[in-house]
């Protein structure tokens, strides 16, 4: 499908984007990435265009002539950042989503992939795809969750008005991996713990460790995205492991692979978010997709990568990164 095809990846310099680009190149695609900053280690043969997706004219320019578009751009940050800077999440994501899907429609691309989020779900023990529109997003994801829902609704509107049925929607769980945002000030749980474990003798963790999350490695998210497009899946699909891990279990794995004798201090007066977020993977598995990287293996690989690439990461700390 992708051999000799022109493929645009927005956010291609980010964590998931790099994995996706790697797999697209293996499939013979002619890849261009769009990002605010050109990666210093851009793979050979990959094109780069600087684009700010808040502006429609720039989105239109990068979509013209493309066969496939994978939109991975979003705004990522910690629960603290979500609570204190909600406009920094909601407004740019609405702009990214709306502009890119409309630009791809006007460019008549063959297929478009939209990256949604776990934030679209209401609090529940298990997240099932079809439950979304019967509920509202969690208060902890109110602004970002509604922004991502609007992107999904936009695809439905295009199907109704234009008869377009060429959009895949994926909802990744908690993603981690190489090139993640490891800044403890606004990083997600796995990269934040990995960095703090390397830079401190006492590992401070928000909450009591009982919070349960579903984690997926960036390589598996990228493979899930390709799978959705290759199989022309238009139903929203979850991309997770389907298995819940407590934050305590994650901390134990991080400590184990840190190479250090760490003391763990639980900050029980700090919020830990929703008690449980577990993905139902029935739909994805019914199509034939499942993950290949276990959490234990993924944390080990990510820790090793972080220790060997700290200098790259110090240049990338900002809120505008991929999922």
Strands 47-50 and 167-172: unpaired
The pTM of the full predicted model, rounded to 2 decimals, is 0.91
The topology under which CATH files domain 6-179+216-242+276-292 is: Rossmann fold (3.40.50)
Question: Which has the higher per-residue pLDDT, 182 or 102?
Answer: 102
What does the mean pLDDT of the chain come to? 91
CA distances from 136 to 120, 166, 202, 305 (A): 8, 26, 38, 37
**pLDDT, mean of residues 20-37:** 96
pLDDT for the residue numbered 202 = 93
pLDDT tens digits along 203-212: 999 889 999 9
Residue 54 has pLDDT above 70, yes or no: yes
Residues above pLDDT 70, as percent of the chain: 93
Sheet with 237-239: list strands edge to edge: 47-50, 30-35, 6-10, 68-71, 111-115, 167-172, 237-239
pLDDT band at 56 (very low <50, low <70, confident <90, very high): very high
Residue 7 has pLDDT above 70, yes or no: yes
pLDDT tens digits along 233-251: 999 999 999 999 999 999 9
pLDDT for the residue numbered 77 = 60
How big, in percent rounded to 5, are the helix, strand and coil portions of the chain? Answer: 45, 20, 40
pLDDT band at 156 (very low <50, low <70, confident <90, very high): very high
Q: Where are the domains of the chain?
A: 6-179+216-242+276-292
pLDDT band at 320 (very low <50, low <70, confident <90, very high): very low
Residue 169 has pLDDT above 60, yes or no: yes
pLDDT for the residue numbered 125 = 87
Strands, E assignment, the chain:
6-10, 30-35, 47-50, 68-71, 111-115, 167-172, 174-176, 202-206, 212-213, 215-217, 237-239, 245-246, 263-267, 276-277
Residue 78 has pLDDT above 80, yes or no: no
**Cα–Cα distance between 305 and 320 in angstroms, integer?**
21
pLDDT for the residue numbered 183 = 79
CA distances from 98 to 76, 184, 219, 281, 298 (A): 18, 30, 26, 28, 33
Per the CB < 8 A criterion, the answer to whether 88 and 101 are in contact is: no
pLDDT for the residue numbered 318 = 44
pLDDT for the residue numbered 319 = 37
């Amino acid at each position: 499908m992708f051999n000799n095809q022109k493929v645009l990846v927005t956010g291609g310099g980010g964590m998931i984007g790099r994995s996706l680009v790697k797999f697209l190149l293996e499939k013979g695609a002619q890849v261009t990435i769009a990002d605010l900053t050109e990666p210093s280690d851009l793979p050979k043969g990959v094109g780069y265009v600087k684009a700010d997706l808040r502006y429609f004219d720039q989105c239109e320019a990068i979509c013209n002539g493309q066969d496939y578009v994978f939109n991975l751009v979003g705004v990522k940050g910690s629960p603290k950042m979500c609570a204190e800077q909600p406009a920094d999440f909601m407004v740019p994501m609405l702009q990214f989503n709306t502009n890119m899907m409309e630009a791809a429609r006007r460019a008549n691309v063959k297929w478009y992939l939209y990256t949604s989020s776990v934030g679209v779900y209401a609090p529940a023990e298990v997240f099932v795809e079809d439950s979304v529109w019967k509920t509202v997003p969690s208060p902890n994801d109110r602004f970002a969750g509604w922004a991502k829902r609007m992107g999904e609704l936009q695809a439905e509107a295009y199907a109704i008005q234009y008869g377009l049925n060429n959009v895949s929607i994926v909802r990744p769980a908690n993603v981690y991996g190489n090139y993640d945002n490891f800044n403890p000030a606004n990083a997600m749980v796995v990269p934040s713990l990995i960095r703090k474990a390397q830079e401190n003798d006492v590992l401070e963790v928000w909450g009591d460790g009982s919070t349960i999350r579903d984690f997926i490695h960036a390589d598996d998210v990228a493979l899930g995205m390709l799978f959705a497009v290759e199989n022309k899946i238009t139903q929203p699909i979850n991309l997770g492991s389907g298995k819940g891990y407590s934050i305590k279990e994650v901390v134990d794995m991080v400590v184990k692979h840190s190479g250090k004798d760490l003391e763990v201090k639980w900050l029980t007066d700090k919020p830990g978010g929703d008690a449980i977020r577990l993905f139902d993977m029935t739909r994805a598995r019914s199509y034939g997709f499942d993950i290949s990287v276990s959490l234990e293996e993924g944390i080990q690989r990510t820790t090793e990568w972080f220790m060997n690439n700290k200098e790259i990461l110090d240049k990338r700390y900002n809120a505008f990164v991929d999922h």
